[in-house]
Amino acid sequence: MSILVDHKTRLLVQGITGNEGLFHTRSMLEYGTNVVAGVRPGKGGEWVLDGKIPVFDTARVAVEATGANTGIIFVPARFATDAIYEEADAGIQLIVCITEGIPVQDMMRVRHYLDQKSVRLVGPNCPGLLTPGEAKVGIIPGDIAIPGTTGVVSRSGTLTYEVLYALKKHNMGVSTCVGIGGDPINGTDFIDALGMFEEDPNTENIVLIGEIGGADEERAAEYISDHLTKPVVGFIAGQTAPPGKRMGHAGAIVEGGSGLAADKVKALEAVGVKVARHPEEIPSLLM
């Protein structure tokens, strides 16, 4: 079992003919992901990756021709919101947006639109999804995780990779890894992922990777207290970050005394979450 993506995923890639889109499509295909179509206006009728993937002018035509049910976006920020709208209007129910630098006001409009259509967005500015042994939708390296029963949800990209590899070194596998991204406005959040992991019979425990800025981790702590029965281990990045300075993600900024790492750690520990001091400590806390 897994959440969001598995061997039944039929993936459409927006921006498949660009350098990033082509590179990561090849990686996803080699991992075993069922990539069925690409989209690039003006390139319809072409094929990429040695004739393996057909390219269409629009997402709607691609969905009608291939039955794609999941989309991933590798287009520049100035085109990304239109790409999200296009996939949603084409009937795609799960959209992963890797693109960074999308303006907050644009994302507010996107989130409102997708909520009305009941379309799930992961991202933007995220590493995507990985269900080890089944599907990889994004840029998470496939060889750093093995199948298992630990669900991982993270705001950070590189820390996600570090934690997955630490689990693998201890022969601990992952059901699904969800990289939600660290922008101020995104689609799927901690609470969404925690709820799905709670309902997934193959997920026995959960790792939550947070960072400074905002109050997502505090809200997650309340949700854990009220709704979760499975054990959760946490890690908060940015514990030495100076106040008022943006560190990494657009959402990782401490302002007005809120968003401090210490407050997040305190909130999680108060509801029984074991919080690691460093990523390498996470496997031992899961045992």
Walk me through the domains of the chain, giving residue ranges and CATH numbers: 11-122 (3.40.50.720), 140-286 (3.40.50.261)
In DSSP terms, which residues pair with 97 in a beta bridge? 73
In DSSP terms, which residues pair with 131 in a beta bridge? 135
Cα separation, 69 vs 36, in Å, equals 10
Instruction: Give the residue among 248, 224, 242, 245 at the shortest CA–CA distance from 234.
Output: 224
Cα separation, 180 vs 26, in Å, equals 23
Whether residue 236 contacts residue 275, with contact meaning beta carbons closer than 8 Å, is answered with: yes
- CA gyration radius for the chain? 18
Cα separation, 280 vs 256, in Å, equals 31
User: For 39-94, what is each residue's pLDDT tens digit?
Assistant: 999 999 999 999 999 999 999 999 999 999 999 999 999 999 999 999 999 999 99
pLDDT score at 213: 86
H-assigned helices in the chain? 19-31, 59-66, 77-89, 104-117, 158-169, 190-199, 216-227, 261-270, 282-286
User: Which of 112, 227, 249, 278 is labelled catalytic?
Assistant: 249
pTM of the model as a whole: 0.94
pLDDT score at 44: 97
Cα separation, 195 vs 3, in Å, equals 10
pLDDT block averages, 10 residues each, the chain of length 287: 92 97 98 98 97 98 98 97 98 98 96 97 97 98 98 93 97 98 94 98 97 93 98 89 57 57 95 96 97
Two structure tokens written together for 45: 């009728």
Whether residue 235 contacts residue 275, with contact meaning beta carbons closer than 8 Å, is answered with: yes
User: For 261-270, what is each residue's pLDDT tens digit?
Assistant: 999 999 999 9
In DSSP terms, which residues pair with 207 in a beta bridge? 152, 233
Two structure tokens written together for 286: 């899961």
SS3 (DSSP) at 121: strand
Cα separation, 75 vs 38, in Å, equals 12
Cα separation, 214 vs 231, in Å, equals 24
Q: Is 24 a catalytic residue?
A: no
Instruction: Give the residue among 182, 179, 177 at the shortest CA–CA distance from 248.
Output: 182
Cα separation, 76 vs 45, in Å, equals 23
Instruction: Give the residue among 119, 121, 80 at the shortest CA–CA distance from 99.
Output: 80
Evaluate the CA torsion angle 195, 182, 280, 30 in order and state its sign: positive
Pairing label, strands 53-56, 47-48: antiparallel
